[in-house]
Amino acid sequence: MSDLFSKFDPLIEQRAALLDTGVTDPFNLVMERVESPTVAICNGQRTILLGTYNYMGMTFDPDVVAAGKKALDEFGSGTTGSRVLNGTYAGHRAVEDALKDFYAMDHAMVFSTGYQANLGVISTIAGKDDYIILDIDSHASIYDGCALGNAQIVPFRHNDIDALEKRLKRIPEGAGKLVVLEGVYSMMGDIAPLKEMVAVSKANGAMVLVDEAHSMGFIGENGRGVAEAQGIIDDVDFIIGTFSKSVGTVGGFCVSNHPKFEILRLVCRPYVFTASLPPSVVATAATSIRKLMNSADKRQHLWENSKRLHAGLRQLGFKLGTDEPQSAIIAVMMPDLETGAAMWEALLHEGLYVNLARPPATPAGMTLLRCSLCALHSSEQVSEILGMFAAAGRATGCIS
Amino acid sequence: MRRLAASAVPVAPQSRPITLLNTWLSTNEPLMSDRQRKLAKVLELIEPFNKKGVAVTEATRFAQDLEWDSLTVLDFVANIEDEFDVIITMNMQAEIETVGQLVDALEKLQA
ipTM: 0.82
The pLDDT value given to residue B30? 56
Q: Dihedral angle at the C-alpha atoms of A382, A102, A230, A321, nearest 10 degrees?
A: 30
| B residues 87-106 closer than 8 Å to A (CB) | 87, 89-91
Chain A residues in contact with B3 by the CB 8 A cut-off are 360
| Exposure string over A63-89, b if 16+ CB within 10 A, otherwise e | ebbebbeebbeebeeebeebbeeebbb
Minimum-distance CB partner of A143 among B2, B75, B82 = B2
Q: Is the pLDDT of residue B11 over 80?
A: no
Confidence (pLDDT) at A1: 80
pLDDT tens per residue, range B12-53: 334 444 444 455 455 555 556 789 999 999 999 999 999 989
Q: What is the nearest CA distance from B96 to chain A, expressed in angstroms?
A: 15
- A398: pLDDT strictly greater than 70: yes
Question: Of B9 and A112, which is predicted with more confidence?
Answer: A112
d(CA A203, CA A165): 9
Domain B32-109 in CATH 3.30.310.10: no
Which CATH number does the domain A62-292 belong to among 3.40.640.10, 3.30.450.20, 3.90.950.10, 3.30.365.10?
Answer: 3.40.640.10
> What distance, in Å, lies between the first and last C-alpha atoms of chain B?
32
Q: What is the pLDDT of residues A354-365, one digit of tens each?
A: 999 988 778 778
pTM: 0.91
Domain boundaries, chain A: 22-56+295-396, 62-292
Task: Judge whether B3 is closer than 8 Å to chain A, CB to CB.
Answer: yes
A163 shares contact with chain B (CB less than 8 Å): yes
Nearest C-alpha neighbor of B77 from the set A175, A168, A157:
A157
Do the domains A62-292 and A22-56+295-396 match in fold? no
User: What percent of chain A lies above the pLDDT cut of 90?
Assistant: 94
> Quick one: pLDDT at residue B16?
43
Domain ranges of chain B: 32-109
**Is A10 an 8 Å CB contact of chain B?**
no
Helices then strands, each counted (H, E), chain A = 14, 16
> Least CA distance to B85: which residue of chain A?
A170
Could you tell me how far CA A326 lies from the centroid of its own chain? 15
A23 pLDDT more than 90: no
pLDDT in tens, A44-68: 999 999 999 999 999 999 999 999 9
Task: Nearest chain B residue to A164 by CA: give it.
Answer: B78
Please compute the mean of the pLDDT values over residues A231-257 and round it to a whole number: 98
Angle between helices A90-103 and A279-292 in degrees, nearest 10 = 20
Min Cα separation A213/chain B (Å): 18
Residues of A in contact with B86 (CB under 8 A): 170
Contact criterion met (CB < 8 Å) for B90 and A157:
no
Among A140, A157, A167, the residue with its CB nearest the CB of B87 is A167
CA of A225 vs chain B CAs: smallest distance (Å): 24
The reply to whether CATH 3.40.30.10 applies to domain A22-56+295-396 is no
